[in-house]
């Protein structure tokens, strides 16, 4: 143990001596422990939106035989997350390296390697994740700055496209008062892969030899330009243009939507507008996002994309606390049958990696994802396209101080599908998905250290009704504690 500490100390000294005298080094992050009891959480990062007579899958809320989530029993587990953010630099240039360690108490140990594990007997697992690695710098005597590398990215629409998303690319910001411009390029996927010397086997990366059967042509990129105009502190308007250009081998594009199956190219365009107003005692925000483009197939007819999303939110001071109301609509498509040549919902970041679309600001725990989710990010809807069905969400909440060190919150939400999304053999029984109520209380133990208790209950709607002879899933509940130390 002493030898290990000496090695770490020597490494720290080397880094410190290598940093210029004018640079500052910062370490920030948190430790979070989250004991949970629930009748549906614990099945990984899943949407639980398999309805009607659809065939159940491992992560389905419906259950057929041994397949699906058993909502008639409780699951108890304890998750932990540690994030460490190292920053070095000054006011003109910064380098950031951001690590994460996750696991469940008693999961896997014994010198195994893999993410989201390592909290079992004797530990010793290899489980460090790289969250961000980037350099930020500002051009001297200018209003232009760049962030280059693997970075956290948030879109202008509350995370509907990319929310709390870690993406590799370049983001540039330029201010020409009263307008702020943001230019974005993200490499969503690159099929040029590092392989073992003398081979072209994907995943056998043991030597510094780049090889790929898809070199130079089968990748996915995202481009965007955002322009924000601020008229003082009370009014702001933002315009957005985005483009996903995806070239992929037939049959291996995204798993959703169904209409993408077998297609080799995606051209997905986004036009959006957002407005912010401050009118005492409320702050109002509204946005509209239109998605158009096409999926291309080497032999079949193109599938045209034509979907949109709209949102209105109000945050206001109300008596002794703060309240919010929010309404979100995402258009849906009622036909997923073979040969359908129109897709009327939106293509989101979650069609490339789970949870890159992360619309968490309604602060719900069952209907939608929440910022507190760790390994078991399970909700009725993670991707706002809702399997191509679209959705309507109404949510609200009220938060207030209870004494000097305690804060309480109550909230509610109602979720419905926009369309039933039928095929030749199945469709949802109804559109109503669930109604959620939730509450939490948080106590500040000391500076940086907080403990909270959280609970949520969701009454399921006709969307999940099963055919004759099958049992409907039980209503959902989730309760957890959260011990959080931020530094």
Confidence of residue 189 (pLDDT cuts 50, 70, 90): confident
Both tokens assigned to 446: 């000391």
d(CA 443, CA 451): 5
Average pLDDT of every residue of the chain: 85
Q: Which residue, chain included where needed, has tokens 């309240």?
A: 323
d(CA 14, CA 10): 6
Confidence of residue 296 (pLDDT cuts 50, 70, 90): confident
Q: Does residue 375 or residue 84 have the better pLDDT?
A: 84
Both tokens assigned to 150: 């693997």
pTM higher than 0.75: yes
Confidence of residue 5 (pLDDT cuts 50, 70, 90): very low
Kindly report which listed range (23-32, 240-249, 412-421, 443-452) carries the lowest average pLDDT score: 240-249
Pairing of strands 209-211, 193-195: antiparallel
Q: Which range, 190-194, 232-236, 272-276, 298-302, has the best average confidence (pLDDT)?
A: 272-276
Q: 115 with 108: CB under 8 angstroms? A: no
Whether pLDDT at 404 is above 70: yes
Confidence of residue 210 (pLDDT cuts 50, 70, 90): low
Q: Which CATH number fits domain 30-486: 3.90.1200.10, 2.60.40.1120, 2.40.160.100, 3.40.30.10?
A: 2.40.160.100
For the chain, what are the domain ranges?
Answer: 30-486
d(CA 312, CA 325): 8
Q: Does residue 71 or residue 133 have the better pLDDT?
A: 133
Using DSSP, state whether 280 is helix, strand or coil: coil
> 308-364: per-residue pLDDT in tens?
999 999 999 999 999 999 999 999 988 776 677 889 999 998 887 767 899 999 999
């Amino acid at each position: 143990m002493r030898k290990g500490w000496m090695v770490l100390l020597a490494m720290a000294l080397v880094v410190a001596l290598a940093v210029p005298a004018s640079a500052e080094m910062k370490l920030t992050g948190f430790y979070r422990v989250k004991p949970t009891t629930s009748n549906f959480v614990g099945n990984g990062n899943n949407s639980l939106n398999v309805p009607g007579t659809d065939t159940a899958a491992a992560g389905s809320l419906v259950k057929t035989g041994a397949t699906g989530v058993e909502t008639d029993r409780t699951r108890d587990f304890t998750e932990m997350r540690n994030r460490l953010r190292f920053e070095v630099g000054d006011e003109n240039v910064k380098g950031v390296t951001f690590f994460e360690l996750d696991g469940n108490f008693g999961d896997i140990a014994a010198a195994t390697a893999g993410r989201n594990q390592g909290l079992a007997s004797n530990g010793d697992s290899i489980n460090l994740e790289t969250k961000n690695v980037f350099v930020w710098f500002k051009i001297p005597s200018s209003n232009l700055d760049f962030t280059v590398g693997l970075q956290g990215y948030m879109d202008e629409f509350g995370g509907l496209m990319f929310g709390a998303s870690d993406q590799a690319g370049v983001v540039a910001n330029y201010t020409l008062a009263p307008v702020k411009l943001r230019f974005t390029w993200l490499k969503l996927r690159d099929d040029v892969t590092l392989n073992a010397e003398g081979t072209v086997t994907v995943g056998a990366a043991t030597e510094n030899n780049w090889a790929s059967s898809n070199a130079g042509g089968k990748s996915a990129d995202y481009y965007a330009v955002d322009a924000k105009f601020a008229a003082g502190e009370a009014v702001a308007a933002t315009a957005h243009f985005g483009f996903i250009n995806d070239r992929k081998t037939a049959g291996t594009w995204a798993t959703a939507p169904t209409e993408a199956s077998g297609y080799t190219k995606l051209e997905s365009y986004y036009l959006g507008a957002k407005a912010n107003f401050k009118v005492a005692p409320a702050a109002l925000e509204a946005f509209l996002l239109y998605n158009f483009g096409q999926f291309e197939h080497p032999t079949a007819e193109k599938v045209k994309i034509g979907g949109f999303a709209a949102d209105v939110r109000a945050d206001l001071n109300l008596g002794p606390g703060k309240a919010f109301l929010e309404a979100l609509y995402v258009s849906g498509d009622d036909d997923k049958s073979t040969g359908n040549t129109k897709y009327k919902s939106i293509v989101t970041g979650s069609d490339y990696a789970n949870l890159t679309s992360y619309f968490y600001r309604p602060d719900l725990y069952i209907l939608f994802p929440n910022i507190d989710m760790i390994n078991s990010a399970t909700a009725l809807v993670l991707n706002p396209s809702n399997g191509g069905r679209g959705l309507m969400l109404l949510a609200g909440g009220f938060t207030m101080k209870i004494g000097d060190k305690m804060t309480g919150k109550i909230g509610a939400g109602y979720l419905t599908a926009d369309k039933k999304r039928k095929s030749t053999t199945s469709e949802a029984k109804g559109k109503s998905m669930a109604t959620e109520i939730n509450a939490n209380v948080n106590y500040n133990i000391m500076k940086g250290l907080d403990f909270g208790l959280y609970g949520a209950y969701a009454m399921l709607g006709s969307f999940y009704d099963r055919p004759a002879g099958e049992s409907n899933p039980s209503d959902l509940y989730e309760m957890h504690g959260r011990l959080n130390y931020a530094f």
